[in-house]
Amino acid sequence: MDYKEFTKKELTSILDIIQLCLKSRAEQDIIDIIARTKELVCADKGICCLGDASTGKLVKYINLDYSREWESIYVAEKLYRIDPVIRYNYELFRTQFWSEALERYSNPQNIDLMNRASDFGLKYGIASGVNGDGYKGSIISFSSDRNRFD
């Protein structure tokens, strides 16, 4: 996408987010970045995770506003081990629509996971991450109950 397709307001928001990233030193800074980016992409919910790229295991996460009930289920059942969005991220490290991940890893277990997530308003999403030092990688994911991501 060419930058000329963005509005001035969107470009200003992007620059503000870049500035926040450059100044980031604490967890609250990350929360602010997630919140501002969530607003920019018109999402309802946002989460940022640091994980083990070889296993998909979450090392640390900041849940901005995903359902606490879903968070408890997801962590207790270790659903990150089968989550197609996590797998796609840690294999390719590129921005993805959740639908792309489900197309790539479309087995009954993954379809069931995504159906369960949709019960908590997590129907559509977009995610991206970076490969970190050694085994670590990150993912930031935004979701909505409506398909607003294009």
Write the CB contacts of 76 (distance below 8 Å, at least 6 apart in sequence). none
Confidence at residue 21, expressed as pLDDT on a 0 to 100 scale: 94
Confidence at residue 33, expressed as pLDDT on a 0 to 100 scale: 96
Output the pTM of the full model: 0.90
Question: DSSP of 36-68, one letter per residue?
Answer: HHHHHTT-SEEEEEEEETTT--EEEEEESSS-H
Confidence at residue 53, expressed as pLDDT on a 0 to 100 scale: 76
- Report which residue type is found at 24: S
Mean pLDDT of the chain: 92
Q: Radius of gyration over alpha carbons of the chain, in Å?
A: 15
Confidence at residue 57, expressed as pLDDT on a 0 to 100 scale: 80
Confidence at residue 133, expressed as pLDDT on a 0 to 100 scale: 72
Helical segments of the chain, H only: 8-23, 27-40, 68-76, 84-92, 98-104, 108-118
Confidence at residue 3, expressed as pLDDT on a 0 to 100 scale: 78
Residues of the chain with confidence (pLDDT) below 70: 1, 134
Confidence at residue 134, expressed as pLDDT on a 0 to 100 scale: 66
